Amino acid sequence: MDPKSIMPTYKRLDVEFARGKGVWLYDTEGKRYLDALAGIAVCGLGHAHPAVTRAIQQQAAQLLHTSNVYGITRQRELAERLVALSGMDNVFFGNSGAEANECAIKIARMYGHGRGIEKPAIVVMENSFHGRTLATLSATGSRKVQAGFEPLVSGFVRARYGDLDELQSIARNNTSIVAVLFEPIQGESGVRVAPPGYLEGVRELCDRHDWLMMLDEVQTGNGRTGRLFAFQHTGVMPDVLSTAKGLGNGVPIGVCLAHGKAAGVFHAGNHGSTFGGNPLACAAGLAVLDTIVADDLCGNAERMGARLIDGLRARLAGLKGVIEVRGRGLMVGVELREPCPELMQAALERGLLINVTADSVIRLLPPLIIGAQEIDQIVTTLGELIEARESTPASPG
């Protein structure tokens, strides 16, 4: 489908969208689709949200970009808003999730050197995803992401996700550890929710060993799980927090927030970004956060997420091909027994946009503005598609 002029790094579905409104996308033929993916957790406010449109139109007419060698009002405003809403102390602005995590990794290393550790190491998890840059793919727990790009960046120690005992044993045996980096819910590897008490347990270990607790909320952040950040379901705070995807509703932005001792690590010249924190991206971020708060989209995500999970569990109960429905808020996975990548095309034909990740997990990340009727439509359509698989022999992906 791609012309020779585009590097073939993506397997694409044969559809192209001309416009969107709310939870709906319209293809070039005018056919309507219910968007249960939101550009992979990006368009939380849905498509063409008037608050975002207005904010970026006004900002574009006024000033797009200057430079981080000057003051930037919108950047200060967004930093203040992020700090107030998260409880963190300060912010670094980049342009993507990978960049936000690069910043976190650099903070951890510099923090370690400050403690006199010559080769600081960061604990990362099996089946994690942190991005496609060299450092973040090295942190990622997927051979598929890493293969062909060796030598990997060193300084990462792998642990089983959710296993506090293993973290404890790493603490006993490795004095070079300076931080733990993980997702509160692993997204790309199939919507795997951390077991209850895991964040609290990691927090305790980090305090005991003077490690930084670093959360990758690139996907779980910005209201997705029913709180602005997933850690806010718990009583603990991270030292470092990265987020991106949903913050700009489609305008590229990634941020790394720091708290306490982590907030004092960087000084002038330690890190930078040409585009990071430019007025346009920050205007979008401000409009997104203001709308999430004003319209209680976290509350809606929590309610609609519960309706989606309950609805799917009821509809899929007893189907032999279904292992589990899981997730939190509007980050939902349906794990099947068999690989099911062909479901993306089958759903597309039925006017529903979904994603399949880790071969056999249907991933649903609809806009946070979604209503009950549309949730029920997702349940109905998916129910029929999954049920149809039960009666037909497994098709090649």
Ligand X SMILES: *Cc1c(COP(=O)(O)O)cnc(C)c1O
Catalytic residue status for 216: yes
Instruction: Please say which residue, 129 or 211, places its beta carbon nearer to ligand X.
Output: 129
Label the pairing between strands 254-258 and 240-243.
Answer: antiparallel
Catalytic residue status for 165: no
Distance CA 41, CA 37 (A): 6
From 92, 93, 231, 245, the catalytic residue: 245
Nearest distance in Å: CB 126, ligand X: 14
Closest by alpha carbon to 157, among 188, 198, 128, 193? 128
Q: Which pairs from 145-150 meet CB under 8 Å and 24+ separation?
A: none
Position closest to ligand X via CB: 97
Closest by alpha carbon to 209, among 271, 167, 254, 270? 167
Distance CA 263, CA 285 (A): 21
Nearest distance in Å: CB 186, ligand X: 8
Nearest distance in Å: CB 128, ligand X: 8
From 182, 216, 239, 266, the catalytic residue: 216
Nearest distance in Å: CB 90, ligand X: 21
**What are the tokens at 272?**
């930078």
Distance CA 69, CA 89 (A): 22
Burial 78-102 (b: 16+ CB within 10 A, else e): bbebbbeebebeebbbbbbbbbbbb
Element (H, E) at 90: strand 90-94
Instruction: Please say which residue, 11 or 172, places its beta carbon nearer to ligand X.
Output: 11
Nearest distance in Å: CB 245, ligand X: 6
**How buried is 217 (Cβ within 10 angstroms: 0-12 exposed, 13-18 middle, 19+ buried)?**
buried
From 129, 156, 182, 229, the catalytic residue: 129
Instruction: Please say which residue, 280 or 346, places its beta carbon nearer to ligand X.
Output: 280
Instruction: Please say which residue, 42 or 340, places its beta carbon nearer to ligand X.
Output: 42
Q: Which spans of this chain sit near ligand X (rule: CB under 6 A)?
A: 96-98, 101, 129-131, 183, 187-188, 216, 218-219, 244-245
Instruction: Please say which residue, 255 or 386, places its beta carbon nearer to ligand X.
Output: 255
Residues with catalytic function: 129, 216, 245
